[in-house]
Each structure stands twice: as C-alpha cells, then as structure tokens.
Amino acid sequence: MLNLLRHNRRLRACMILAAALFLFTAGCGGGGNGRSSVVVFSDVHFNPFYDPAIFDSLMNSPENQWNDIFQSSAVTDPEPWENETNYPLLVRMLEALRTQSAANPVVVFSGDMLTHGFSKKFYTLYGSEDEAAMRAFTYKTVAFFAAQVRDYLGQIPVVFTLGNNDSYEGDYKIDPGGAFLADTADLLYSTLLLEKADYAGYVETYRAGGYYAMSVGPVMFISLNTILFSPNAATDIEGAVSQELDWLDRTLAGARAQEKRVWLVMHIPPGADIYSTVTKYMDPAGRISDASTMWKTEYQDRFLNIVDTYVDMIDVAFAGHTHMDEYRLDVNENGASQTVILVTPAISPLFGNDSAFKVIRIESSDWTPIDYRSTAYHFGDAAPVFGPYYTFTNAYASTEAGLESALVALFPKLQTDPTLRQAYSGYYYSGHNNAGPIDDINWPAYWCGIGNMTKEDYMECVNTYD
C-alpha cells in the first residue's frame, strides 16, 4: 500500500506538470488553432444542512439571502471524504468553473443538485415530517443552487439534466408530470438555460418527464431523464418511459434533418452497476454470481436500438451518477463502437473520491471532441485547490483521430498494458483511492464495465477475464 501511495503521488505530480503545460498552451477557456472548450460537472449534491446552527435562518429567509447566512457559519472549510458538498466547497467549485469556462460556448451539468437523503435531513432539523415545508425548502435549495451557478458563469448557458436526488419524492422516485417538474420548469429554463431552448417544446417535455432538447451552435443537446429507466425508479411509469423514448427517436430524426451534431446528456448511464456488482456478487476469486444493472433491460435495449440508428451523428454522451472518472462504450454485435459515454466524476466527496470535473476540448468549427482534462480538488493536500490533474493525451494516448476513436482504442489496451491500467485505476477516484481501491481481483469488473452493456455480456466478460 505504501508503494502504491508513493506511486500515486509521483503520478499526480507528473500529471499536474503536464496538465499545467496543456493549460498554458491551450488556454483555460479555449485556445488558439480553432479550438475551444466545454466544462462538464456533475453530482454536486449540495447540502444546506451541514451546519445545524444556521438552519432556522435558512428556513425563515428567501434564497436570495442565503449567501449571507452561509457566510456567517462557523464552518468555513470544505468537508472531506464521506461528506456532501457544503457551501465552502460549492464556492470553490464555482470559482474553478468560472475560470475554466471563461470562453466556453456552453457548460454541461449532468445532474444531482441536491444532497442524498434531503427530506430525512430536513425533517430531522425541522422537528416534524411536514411535507409542505420540506417541498418549499427543496425548491428554495434548487433556486439557490441555480442562482449561484448563474452568478458565477455569467451569460454561458448551462445544459442540465436531473439526478436521482433531484425531486420532492425522494431518491429515484421523481414523479413524471408531478409537482417538482412543474415547479422547477420555468426556474431552470430561465436561470440555467438562459431561455435558449424553444420554450413550448421545453416546457411540454420537461413537465411531462424532465427531458428536453436545445441547440447551441452546430450541436443539438438532448437531455434525457434516465432516472425513469432505473430499476429503483417509481412503479407504474412504463407509459412515461415509452413517451420519452418515442420523443428521443423523433428528436434524433429531427436533428438529422437539420444536419445537427448531437450530444446526449443523462445522469444514470446504461450498462452495469459496477460498485453494486462488486460488493454484492463477487467472490474472493473475482468471479460474480450475478450483476446489477443501471437500467431496466427493456428500456436499455430500446435506447440502444434508437441511438445505434443515429450513431453517425452522435458525437458523445455525458453521464454522472457513479461519482467516478470512467467511460463506457456501446459496442454493436460486430464489435464496432456506436456511442462513447463519458462519465463525469462528482463534486461531492461522499464516496471517498476527491472532487473533480472535466473540461472537454473541441474543434471550434464542428465541436468534435478531441481531448479532455480533469480538474480536481485533493482534500489530502496541505492547501487544496481545484487544479490540473491530468489530460487524456498525456495519460493515455494521442487523440489526433478524435477523442472518440482514442477512447475506443484505449479499451483493449487497458487489458494488456499494466501502465495504462494503473493510470485508469488511479484516476477512477480522482486521486483518493482509499475508499475502494481497484485491485487485481476486482479489476475485471471495472474493465468489463467499459465495453459490455448487457448483463449477460458483462457477466461472461468478468468470469472469463484472463
């Protein structure tokens, strides 16, 4: 373990130096040579309950006065691993986002504004289970979060999706057509999207199920509510899921007719639930007796069939939810990649990870993704700041043929190249790997999760890994 820690420190130092050089040559917000950047962040899980001493003041004040209340708190530092994002960490994140997105045409947020267990934490401090009071406080928290993002990012639109904690109903239980979607539709349209989407289309689909489309430059962003696809979602929502997938098919057809490139934005990615599989079903030899999946099989099958039809126009998909730095490939029956899903690490350090976000480097002309860099906040440092962590090109390979091709090529190399495998394993937790280190036993579960979407393929891959 000591040797691993020493290696991680050396690796981090090298990557910081390389990333600093990258920033110097490319610029924080974009850069020359016809290239720009897009910041992607995820899983903030803002926790307004971190200091019980100020709860009553928050309850009795409008959200536009919350800044002053948070600044009066005796808690002035970010809380590290196994905690959610408090106000000090939120501010540091927003300052870093502002710096990194200075020349961005758009910013992407892949969901989970609110802390885990929001209602339970509220009821504990409030003293009773007053649902109306909880909903009012939830709305104020969403409004505060959105306003803070807007204050720091100026006039850059933020394409967002909802996370599994972003609702009145509780974890995974968002109600299609329900009160949370109705209450937040106009708020998020004006504050995050800056009214850039077609309002009639947005309000119809967002209120119905929390999804929408918006074009910026040459790209159509399609924001999906994949919470509804989860096995943990509310029951009796099959009609809402069918409606969303029908809409996705029509919207992709419309994008093709308009000759748009497409970026998908979702919270929960398809494929295996790697953490759940490893903790529940893996034996000491590394074999698994079963596998957990992120989505219900029938929903994933239909989704993949739809996106495979339009693979020529989908440049990338962004997701969050796992809190880790990873990616996934939709690979067809012939072994060809269809869609690359970049999973953005979390700002919340709840699961033992360091806080991080990504900056995607793109061609200015057509927005083709060509590289990315990770910006991370290492809680174990003497004076932690959000700073350069690594870039894809320096950590893995050249991206001359584009980021998608490089990610596809990386997948088989991670199985055979120990140096690349060690890099991927080290970056997975954004620099703090103590909570659940990837080792020789469980590595197949993580590697197979990149390129095997179905449960059957994933289990076969893990159990036959050599």
Position 332 scores a pLDDT of: 67
Q: Which residues pair with 36 in a beta bridge?
A: 362
The rounded distance, in Å, linking the Cα atoms of 102 and 104 is: 6
CA–CA distances in Å: residue 50 to residues 47, 53, 55, 75, 229:
6, 9, 9, 8, 31
Distance between CA atoms of 263 and 290, rounded to whole angstroms? 32
Query: How far is the CA of 80 from the CAs of 41, 93, 348, in angstroms?
Result: 18, 14, 9
End-to-end CA distance of the chain: 24
How many residues are recorded in the chain? Answer: 466
Query: Collapsing DSSP states into helix, strand and coil, what is residue 342?
Result: strand
Question: What rounded mean pLDDT belongs to the chain?
Answer: 92
Mean pLDDT is highest, among 33-42, 178-187, 427-436, for 178-187
Specify the pLDDT at position 217.
Answer: 94
Task: State the amino acid at position 116 in one-letter form.
Answer: H
Q: Please, which residues have CB within 8 angstroms of residue 420's CB and are 6 or more apart in sequence?
A: 396, 410, 413, 414
Q: How far apart are CA 332 and CA 453, in angstroms?
A: 10
Predicted local confidence at residue 26, as pLDDT:
40
Instruction: Give Rg (Cα) of the chain.
Output: 21
Encoding tokens for residue 205? Answer: 């689909």
pLDDT at residue number 334 = 65
pLDDT exceeds cutoff 50 at 4: no
* 317-357 confidence digits (pLDDT tens): 999 999 999 999 997 666 666 799 999 999 999 999 999 99
Distance CA 10, CA 20 (A): 15
The b/e string for 290-324 (b: 16+ C-beta within 10 A; e otherwise) is ebbbbbbeebbebbbebbeebeeebbbbbbbbbbb
3-class SS of residue 393: helix
Residue 183 burial (C-beta neighbours within 10 Å; 0-12, 13-18, 19+): middle
Q: 21-25, 81-85, 114-118: which has the minimum mean pLDDT?
A: 21-25
pTM higher than 0.85, yes or no?
yes
Residue 184 binned pLDDT confidence (cut-offs 50, 70, 90): very high
Q: Are strands 158-160 and 386-391 parallel, antiparallel or unpaired?
A: unpaired
DSSP calls for 201-270: HHHHHHHHHS-EEEEETTEEEEE--GGGGSTTSPSS-HHHHHHHHHHHHHHHHHHHHTT-EEEEE-SSPS
At 1, is the pLDDT very low, low, confident or very high (cuts 50, 70, 90)?
A: very low
pLDDT in tens, 265-299: 999 999 999 999 999 999 999 999 999 999 999 99
Euclidean distance between CA atoms 443 and 426, whole angstroms:
12
Helix (H, G, I), strand (E, B) or coil at 44: coil
Q: Is the pLDDT of residue 12 over 70?
A: no
Instruction: Give yes or no for residue 17 having a pLDDT over 50.
Output: no
Token pair for 455? 């449960």
- What is the 8-class DSSP label of residue 53? G
Q: How far apart are CA 460 and CA 279, in angstroms?
A: 18
What does the alpha-carbon distance between residue 382 and residue 442 come to, in Å, rounded to a whole number?
32
Half-sphere exposure of 171 (CA within 13 A, CB side): 9
Out of 142-151, 179-188, 218-227, 396-405, least confident range: 396-405
For the residues 72-91, what does the mean pLDDT come to?
98
pLDDT digits (tens, 9 = 90+) for 363-421: 999 999 999 999 999 999 999 999 999 999 999 988 888 999 999 999 999 999 999 99
Residues 6+ apart with CB under 8 A from 217: 105, 106, 367
Has residue 13 got a pLDDT over 50? no
Of 7-21, 37-51, 250-264, 312-326, least confident by mean pLDDT is 7-21
Answer yes or no: is pLDDT of 101 > 70. yes
Q: Strand, helix or coil at 365?
A: coil
Ranking 90-94, 219-223, 241-245, 397-401 by mean pLDDT, the lowest is: 397-401
Give the rounded percent of residues in the chain with a pLDDT score beyond 70.
92
**Confidence band of 177 (pLDDT split at 50, 70, 90):** very high
Give yes or no for residue 178 having a pLDDT over 80.
yes
Q: Is the pLDDT of residue 15 over 70?
A: no
pLDDT at 27 over 50: no
Contact status, residue 465 vs residue 447, Cβ threshold 8 Å: yes
Residue type, 171: D
Report the pLDDT value the prediction gives residue 337, as an integer from 0 to 100. 62
For residue 34, name the pLDDT band (cuts at 50, 70, 90).
confident
Q: Domains in the chain and their CATH numbers?
A: 2-463 (3.60.21)
**In DSSP terms, which residues pair with 108 in a beta bridge?**
40, 159
Amino acid, res. 56: D
pLDDT at 220 over 80: yes
pLDDT band for position 124 (cuts 50, 70, 90) = very high
